[in-house]
Homo-oligomer: A and B are copies of this chain.
Amino acid sequence: MSEARVSQVHRALLGVRDLIVSGDLTAGTRLHEVALSEKLGISRTPLRSALAQLRQEGLVETISSGGYAVRRFSRDDVIDAIELRGVLEGTAARLAAERGVDASRLAELRWLLSEIDGAMRGSEAEMDFDRYVELNAAFHEMLWGLASETIYREIERISRLPFASPSAFLNKQSGVPAFRRSLYGAQAQHRAIIDAIGRREGTRAEAIAREHARLARLNLEYVLDEAPGLIPQVPALSLVVS
Instruction: Identify the A interface with B (CB < 8 A).
Output: 45, 48-49, 52-53, 56, 58, 76-77, 80-81, 83-84, 87-88, 91, 95, 147-151, 153-154, 158
Residues on the B chain within 8 Å of A153, using CB: 58
Which of B52, B58, B76, B87 is the one whose CB lies under 8 Å from A52? B52
A54 to chain B, nearest CB (A): 11
Give 21 A-B contacts (CB < 8 Å), ordered by A residue.
Answer: A45-B45, A48-B49, A49-B49, A49-B52, A52-B52, A52-B53, A53-B56, A56-B56, A58-B153, A77-B150, A80-B147, A80-B151, A81-B150, A83-B91, A83-B95, A84-B88, A84-B150, A84-B151, A87-B87, A87-B88, A154-B158
Q: Which of A52, A76, A95, A153 has the most CB of B within 10 A?
A: A52
A143 to chain B, nearest CB (A): 16
Residues on the B chain within 8 Å of A95, using CB: 83
Specify the chain B residue showing the minimal Cβ separation from A73.
B150
Provide the main secondary structure of the chain A interface: helix
Q: How far is the CA of A20 from the CA of B36 in the complex (A)?
A: 35
Specify the chain B residue showing the minimal Cβ separation from A147.
B80
Residues on the B chain within 8 Å of A88, using CB: 84, 87
Residues on the B chain within 8 Å of A53, using CB: 52, 56
Residues on the B chain within 8 Å of A48, using CB: 49
Judge whether A84 and B80 touch: CB under 8 Å: no
Judge whether A84 and B91 touch: CB under 8 Å: yes
Judge whether A148 and B80 touch: CB under 8 Å: yes
